[in-house]
Chain A
Amino acid sequence: NAGVMQNPRHLVRRRGQEARLRCSPMKGHSHVYWYRQLPEEGLKFMVYLQKENIIDESGMPKERFSAEFPKEGPSILRIQQVVRGDSAAYFCASSSRTGNSPLHFGNGTRLTVT
């Protein structure tokens, strides 16, 4: 399966713990996007990264949230000291950005904060 891989599919954390969400882009893709989905709100853009660079983080909360896409390995979305309001589905998408290639999405990580 050469699609976008996200893990874990489901993640349960208690308030105050850290959540780490992983995303491996499609083979050959060097652009990664993270979106958050809440019921009735659609997908909210969080951050856009290329290898070792954050291109646009205008949708990221100023505190507790960070993202990286290292030279080797998956992209990581990290949420420190989680609160109940962080409960949502987090989707990763990748593209090659050659020409006008569309986004390819993973199946998401559903984070539940108890």
Chain B
Amino acid sequence: AQSVTQLDSQVPVFEEAPVELRCNYSSSVSVYLFWYVQYPNQGLQLLLKYLSGSTLVKGINGFEAEFNKSQTSFHLRKPSVHISDTAEYFCAVSVNRDDKIIFGKGTRLHILP
């Protein structure tokens, strides 16, 4: 069965600094990969997704992620964070388009002034 590991439960970053949120997955077959963001007291919103093709995926709000099959990783990056990026970020995996999506435990991004 597939699984997702987000190694960092919290990441503090100064405003305007770059950030990388790590995500590793395990699956014996090809996967679809997602990053979602959750703002306080809200549901999750899709940031970006990797289905196939180019391994560098660009999403909303200036975020991007790179699919690395050999390292089974899908790390999320942003070159310069803003205070409004304060939220919890979830990496997720699905084996095929008709399967459930499995989420990691999330990473809280704290933006420091």
A residues sitting closer than 8 Å to B (CB atoms) are 4, 33, 35, 40-45, 48, 56, 58-59, 91, 93, 97, 99-100, 102-108
Contacts and interface: CB of A to CB of B under 8 A. Distances in A.
Interface in B30-85: 32, 34, 36, 41-46, 49, 51
B101 A45 contact: yes
Contacts of A41: 105
A102 B104 contact: no
B73 to A, nearest CB: 18
Contacts of A108: 42-43
A102 B98 contact: no
A78 B30 CA distance: 34
Given A93-B43, A102-B34, A103-B101, 10 more contacts: A33-B100, A33-B101, A42-B106, A45-B101, A56-B100, A59-B100, A97-B98, A104-B46, A105-B36, A106-B43
Nearest to B42: A107
Nearest to B52: A100
B49 A42 contact: no
B97 A97 contact: yes
Contacts of B100: 33, 45, 48, 56, 58-59
B97 A100 contact: yes
